[in-house]
């Protein structure tokens, strides 16, 4: 039973393979060719690969008469079996180098599959001067000789490997015509991202970009026989603003690409899995300049009311109401829609009856940038008729230049019948209208002022400021301040030039600063240090105040100076009692049991008392 099942499964598998091979033979075959670079230097090695999705019986290689063959033909065959379907791919590769400069051509390759001939397209190669030295040629040949057949080498980055291409929808256009500018990145390596994009300034153009961040999707594109990863990263719509030759400057992009590293394998695993792996590198790409030839719209047949509209536009005029009282307002709405330079259109100039007043329009836009600049632009005019009557607004036609027809198109406006009836006469309607626009008049600050009503007082305007008393005072004030500053400076220098007098004036402040240290010692209950600071404060005060040197601070000299300055005897006695108490405590601290706070307060009062008596003398 199991044997029969195994045979049955084996038969099914054989039939599936035969069916797959038969289906492959029925598929359409195509022979493709791909080169690693189509712009090379003389002697620079590059690779060419011919591929077909079948197994050929024979093949005929192209004629490489203008090229040196370093390696090849290298054959490679791969088979895939997915979901019961088998596919085969066969490729032949050559490593070659150009012998001479110029535009060279590689002829077609011919392969025979099931008796049918398949021929590839010829490939054009541009060879430039700058041959690789023979030593480097041999080195390149040696490096590539160990490649698997059909494996495509990864050359160093060049301008042909990663570049930016700017394309425009047209290079010749009318002024004001819309042009689409597209910028794409081309990379032969795996494109991981881009950064530091510098877009052109579009000098001479008005530009508009679509809303939102573009979603860059990569596709594979064959350009001159080379496959590239291609992604569109920017699209801009521009409108030329002047005639002549305008230039779209290059776009600069830093692309992050992943390519095979040139580093040697660090271990056996990297050797087995292919060299030193891959690395992400930053390549700076720059597009070429684009020249746009801008011509003016024709003068022949240009309407008088042409306001610069270019494209495919529509036009509509409507009034908010057709019956209005004199000095009342109504709105006239003009809408221009379609595809073109809507944002650059000027407000239409109205031709109204003489008794109609109009103000600057309120402009609103509803413009989309998806697939081109299109939408609508509305001008809302406020119009006030001043006199009653029957009026017709019929000179509101709109003209634009139609790009499809290459001629001017005038869209006539409908005849708008406006009936103006007299006002009700109950109030000054004109004042009501201006009250409605009061804010606008107020902002102008140079329009008609409103007449003030009711009782008010008038004040007489002062005389001219120049030659007035205030003007003369302000003119002489700087001189007065300057003279006062000089006088104060002379007084300050004189007061501080006498050092003895200066010490006498500041003796009390010096002593009080020293008493701060005594207070700290008192709070710490350090009696000896407290009495020492109090003694130093008193000696400093007496020496500075009466100009007594420290060496001459004796009881006799102090008494002499105190009597000379008429200090009261009781103050003198209190002073010497404090000095004796401090000296006694300094040399016999254990025998002192007095209150430190009382001694501190007594010293402060003593210095203040002497200062008061000296001022009263």
Give me the mean pLDDT over the 553-566 stretch. 80
Across residues 450-467, what is the average pLDDT? 65
Q: Is 30 helix (H, G, I), strand (E, B) or coil?
A: coil
Average pLDDT, whole number, for the chain?
Answer: 77
More confident residue, 503 or 388: 388
Which residues make Cβ contacts (< 8 Å) with residue 169, sequence separation at least 6?
A: 179, 180, 181
Question: What pLDDT sits at residue 68?
Answer: 85
Instruction: Identify the band that residue 581 occupies on the pLDDT scale cut at 50, 70 and 90.
Output: confident
pLDDT over 70 at 3, yes or no: no
Instruction: Specify the 3-state DSSP secondary structure of 281.
Output: strand
d(CA 21, CA 87): 8
Per-residue pLDDT at 490 exceeds 60: yes
pLDDT at 263: 61
Lowest mean pLDDT among 141-150, 385-394, 601-610: 141-150
**3-state secondary structure labels for all residues of 582-610:** HHHHHHCHHHCCCCHHHHHHHHHHHHHHH
Q: What is the mean pLDDT of residues 474-492?
A: 86
pTM tops 0.85: no
Least confident stretch, 6-10, 98-102, 552-556: 6-10
Distance between CA atoms of residues 498 and 463, nearest Å:
54
- Tokens read off for 389: 């009557």
The DSSP string of 128-157 is: ES-PPPHHHHHHHHHHHHTSPTTPPP-PPP
pLDDT of the residue at 172? 93
What does the chain come to in residues?
617
Return the higher-pLDDT residue of 291 and 277: 291
41 versus 293: which is more confidently predicted?
Answer: 293
User: pLDDT-derived band of residue 143, with 50, 70 and 90 as boundaries?
Assistant: very low
Which pLDDT does position 262 carry in this prediction?
A: 62
Q: What is the pLDDT of residue 597?
A: 83
**How far apart are alpha carbons 269 and 265 in whole angstroms?**
8
pLDDT at 153: 39
User: 436 falls in which pLDDT band (50, 70, 90)?
Assistant: very low
Q: What is the mean pLDDT of residues 589-594?
A: 58
Q: What is the dihedral of CA 254, 255, 257, 262, to 10 degrees?
A: -30
How much is the pLDDT for 156? Answer: 43
Q: Tokens 């003009």 — which residue?
A: 334
pLDDT band at 86 (very low <50, low <70, confident <90, very high): low
- The label of the residue with tokens 């050092």 reads 499
pLDDT band at 430 (very low <50, low <70, confident <90, very high): very low
**Of the candidate ranges 78-87, 107-116, 597-606, the one whose mean pLDDT is the lowest:** 78-87
Average pLDDT over residues 245-271: 74
> Could you tell me the pLDDT band of residue 12, with boundaries at 50, 70 and 90?
very low
Q: Which of 142-156, 238-252, 276-290 has the lowest mean pLDDT?
A: 142-156
Q: Is residue 151 predicted with pLDDT exceeding 70?
A: no
Tally of CB atoms within 10 A around 597: 11
Dihedral over Cα of 146, 147, 153, 154: its sign: negative
Average the pLDDT over 230-256 and give the result: 89
Nearest 5°: the CA angle 160, 161, 166 is 65
Q: Are strands 398-402 and 306-319 parallel, antiparallel or unpaired?
A: parallel
- Yes or no: say if 77 and 89 are a contact pair by the CB < 8 Å rule: yes
**What's the whole-number mean pLDDT along residues 561-569?**
81
Say how far apart CA 431 and CA 157 lie, in whole Å: 78
- pLDDT tier at 504 (50, 70, 90 boundaries)? low
Give the per-residue pLDDT at 585. Answer: 73
What 3-state DSSP class applies to 53?
coil
| Span 221-237, pLDDT tens digits | 887 778 888 888 888 89
Question: What pairs with residue 352 in β-bridges?
Answer: none
Q: Compute the average pLDDT of residues 502-514.
A: 72
**Contact present, 382 and 328 (Cβ < 8 Å):** no
């Amino acid at each position: 039973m199991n044997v029969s099942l195994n045979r049955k499964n084996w038969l099914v598998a054989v039939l599936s393979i035969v069916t797959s091979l038969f289906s492959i033979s029925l598929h359409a075959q195509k022979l493709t060719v791909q080169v690693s670079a189509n712009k090379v230097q003389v002697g620079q090695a590059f690779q060419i690969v011919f591929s077909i999705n079948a197994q050929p019986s024979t093949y005929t290689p192209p004629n490489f008469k203008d090229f040196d063959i370093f390696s090849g033909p290298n054959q490679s065959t791969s088979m895939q079996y997915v979901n019961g379907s088998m596919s085969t791919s066969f490729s032949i590769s050559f490593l070659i180098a150009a012998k001479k400069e110029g535009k060279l051509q590689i002829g077609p390759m011919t392969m025979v599959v099931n008796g049918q001939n398949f021929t590839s397209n010829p490939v054009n190669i541009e060879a430039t001067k700058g041959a690789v030295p023979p030593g480097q040629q041999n080195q390149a040949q040696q490096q590539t000789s160990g490649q698997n057949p059909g494996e495509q080498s990864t050359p160093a980055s060049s301008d042909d490997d990663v570049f930016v291409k700017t394309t425009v929808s047209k290079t010749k256009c009318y002024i004001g015509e819309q042009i689409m500018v597209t910028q794409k990145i081309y990379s032969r390596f795996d494109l991981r991202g881009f950064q530091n994009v510098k877009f052109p300034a579009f000098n001479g153009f008005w530009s508009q970009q679509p809303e939102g961040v573009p979603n860059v999707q990569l596709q594979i594109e064959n350009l001159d026989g080379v496959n590239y990863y291609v992604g569109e990263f920017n699209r801009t719509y521009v409108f030329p603003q002047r005639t002549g030759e305008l230039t779209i400057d290059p776009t600069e992009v830093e692309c992050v690409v992943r390519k095979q590293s040139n580093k040697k394998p660090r271990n056996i695993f990297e050797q087995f899995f292919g060299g030193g792996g891959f690395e992400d590198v930053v390549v700076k790409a720059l597009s070429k300049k684009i020249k746009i030839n801008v011509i003016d719209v024709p003068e022949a047949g240009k309407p008088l009311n042409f306001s610069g509209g270019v494209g495919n536009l529509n036009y509509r005029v409507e009034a908010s109401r057709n019956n209005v009282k004199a000095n009342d307002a109504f709105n006239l709405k003009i809408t221009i829609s379609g595809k073109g330079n809507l944002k650059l259109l000027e407000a239409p100039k109205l031709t109204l009856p003489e008794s109609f007043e109009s103000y600057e329009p309120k402009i609103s836009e509803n413009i989309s940038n998806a697939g081109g600049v299109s939408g609508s632009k509305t001008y809302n005019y406020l119009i006030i008729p001043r006199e009653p009557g029957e009026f017709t607004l019929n000179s509101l036609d709109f003209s634009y230049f139609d790009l499809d027809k290459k001629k001017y198109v005038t869209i006539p406006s409908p005849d708008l019948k406006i009936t103006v009836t007299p006002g009700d006469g109950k109030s000054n309607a004109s004042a009501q209208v201006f009250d409605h626009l009061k804010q606008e008049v107020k902002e102008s600050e140079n329009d008609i002022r409103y007449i003030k009503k009711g009782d008010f007082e008038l004040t007489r305007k002062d005389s001219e400021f120049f030659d007035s008393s205030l003007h003369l005072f302000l003119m002489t004030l700087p001189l007065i301040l300057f003279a006062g500053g000089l006088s104060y400076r002379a007084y300050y220098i004189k007061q501080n030039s006498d050092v003895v007098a200066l010490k006498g004036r500041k003796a009390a402040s010096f002593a009080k600063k020293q008493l701060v240290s005594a207070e700290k010692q008192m709070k710490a209950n350090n009696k000896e240090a407290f009495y020492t600071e109090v003694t130093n404060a008193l000696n400093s005060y007496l020496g500075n105040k009466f100009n007594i040197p420290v060496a001459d601070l004796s009881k006799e000299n102090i008494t002499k100076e105190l009597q000379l300055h008429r200090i009261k005897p009781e103050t003198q006695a209190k002073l010497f009692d404090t000095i004796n108490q401090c000296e006694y405590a300094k040399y016999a601290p254990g025998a002192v049991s007095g209150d430190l706070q009382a001694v501190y307060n007594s010293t402060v009062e003593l210095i203040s008392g002497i200062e008061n008596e000296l001022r009263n003398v």
